Amino acid sequence: MSTVIAVAPGRVNLIGEHTDYNGGLCLPFAIGLGTTATLTTRRDRRLSIDSDRGEVWTGTWDDVVRQDVNGWAAYVAGVLWAMAEDGWEVPGLDIAITTTLPLGGGLSSSAALECSVALAVAALSRPDRDRDERMRLAEACRRAETEYVGAPTGGMDQLASLLATPDHGVLIDFADPTAPRVHDVELGFDAASLAVLVTDTGVRHALADGDGGYAQRRAECEAFAADPATSERTLAARGRHVRTESDRVRRTVEALRTRDWSTVGELMTASHASLRDDFEVSCAELDTSVDAALAAGASGARMTGGGFGGCSIALVARDDVDRVAAAIGRSYEARGWPAPAHHVVSPGAGARLHQ
Ligand code: GLA
């Protein structure tokens, strides 16, 4: 019997939202909050999946193959299933999960869960994983989420969690969706005395919810791609967001290169406006935190992740973090909403093994 421990981070997307399943660009970075998977091999073929946030699931490999696993454990079972399909040896396992991420909060708690399990299973065969192999693991995790759990997500979160490096964003180009191209982009927030303030609205979405807006947006984007000359206003607005958003990512990368922080901030804020007005995935709580952060002096602010709740981010001078967070808190209080949670995040490392 052997034990392997892997930790995988959540992510914040700096800019480039709803572009991953539309052949576009995005620029996420890994954060310090994450998920730890401890895997112990068993002599039989049984599986147990336990977590600090849910009930233990026990079963057999047959249950996994029959897709007879529900709730959060399905994300783990889906990874085992996808990796076995890819030819990995998956033995009987006792799996224990702990996390510091808010669940369903727009910081990719599901990708962190998938990637921690995937890296640990891979390490049972061989400990070093080069970048290409990590890309294949990310694809297995994406398939787990899309084909096993049934949440039609795009692939950004898993690549960010597995490939991020400290102080860098992961620029992902999905022009060829079957072979995304990945580059590290230096962010330099720390050296510029800037911080990224995350505000968790407390509003929760479920990407796996069939009636949810995420699946609907995907369908609308497909309809637009099939007829880009459409006169249907909603579809045209969805298409406009996707096109302008990739362009904003390109300009953000340029602005980062020259440390032009006011342009980075303006592009973030423009991204939010496009997600609010053209893509219509924001909500009152996200808009309020963005507006309050900007009024309190943030260089830029936007929702991050799929939307319909979750988190916003604001780029602020390090010394202003408390002041901006307090201003957001007051704007929630004025509307009678529960106080939002805040996290200050910096671009950290991707998934790794604990020796
Ligand atoms: C969720 C999905 C990602 C991506 C974002 C929106 O986080 O998991 O694949 O589509 O929404 O950019």
Q: Mind listing the pLDDT tens digit of every residue in the chain (355 residues)? A: 899 999 999 999 999 999 999 999 999 999 999 999 999 999 999 999 999 887 899 999 999 998 889 888 999 999 999 999 999 999 999 999 999 998 888 899 999 999 999 999 999 987 667 899 999 999 999 999 999 999 889 999 999 999 999 999 999 999 999 999 999 999 999 999 999 999 999 998 766 554 568 999 999 999 999 999 999 999 999 999 999 999 999 999 999 999 999 999 999 999 999 999 999 999 999 999 999 999 999 999 999 999 999 999 999 999 999 999 999 999 999 999 999 999 999 999 999 998 7
**Atom from ligand 1 closest to the CA of residue 19:** 12
For residue 192, the tally of other CB atoms under 10 A from its CB is 14
**Atom from ligand 1 closest to the CA of residue 151:** 8
Amino acid code (one letter) for 265: G
114 lines ligand 1 (CB under 6 A): no
Catalytic residues: 157
The alpha carbon of 41 and the centre of ligand 1 are apart by a number of angstroms equal to 33
Return the beta strands (E) in the chain as ranges: 3-13, 25-26, 28-41, 46-51, 54-60, 93-99, 168-173, 181-186, 194-200, 300-304, 311-317, 341-345, 352-354
Residue that the structure tokens 């260089």 belong to: 299
Dump pLDDT digits (tens) for 282-320.
Answer: 999 999 999 999 999 999 999 999 999 999 999 999 999
Number of H helices, E strands in the chain: 10, 13
**Contact present, 183 and 197 (Cβ < 8 Å):** no
The alpha carbon of 223 and the centre of ligand 1 are apart by a number of angstroms equal to 19
153 lines ligand 1 (CB under 6 A): yes
**Contact present, 279 and 243 (Cβ < 8 Å):** no
Q: What are phi and psi of 321, to 5 degrees?
A: -55, -50
282 lines ligand 1 (CB under 6 A): no
Nearest to 296 by CA among 272, 263, 322: 322
Mutate to test the pocket of ligand 1, among 29, 141, 156 (most ligand atoms within 8 A of CB): 156
17 lines ligand 1 (CB under 6 A): yes
| pLDDT value for 127 | 67
Q: Whose CA is nearest to atom 8 of ligand 1?
A: 153
Domains of the chain: 3-186+349-353 (3.30.230.10), 194-345 (3.30.70.890)
| pLDDT value for 12 | 98
List the strands of the sheet with 181-186, edge to edge: 25-26, 168-173, 181-186
Q: Whose CA is nearest to atom 2 of ligand 1?
A: 153
Secondary-structure breakdown of the chain: helix, strand, coil percentages, each rounded to the nearest 5:
40, 25, 35
**Contact present, 37 and 97 (Cβ < 8 Å):** yes
Q: How far is CA 344 from CA 2, 31, 295, 316, in A?
A: 36, 9, 19, 10
- Rounded distance between C-alpha atoms, residue 294 and residue 315, angstroms: 9
The alpha carbon of 306 and the centre of ligand 1 are apart by a number of angstroms equal to 5
The alpha carbon of 15 and the centre of ligand 1 are apart by a number of angstroms equal to 11
139 lines ligand 1 (CB under 6 A): no
The alpha carbon of 146 and the centre of ligand 1 are apart by a number of angstroms equal to 12
Dump pLDDT digits (tens) for 87-142.
Answer: 999 999 999 999 999 888 889 999 999 999 999 999 998 766 789 999 999 999 99
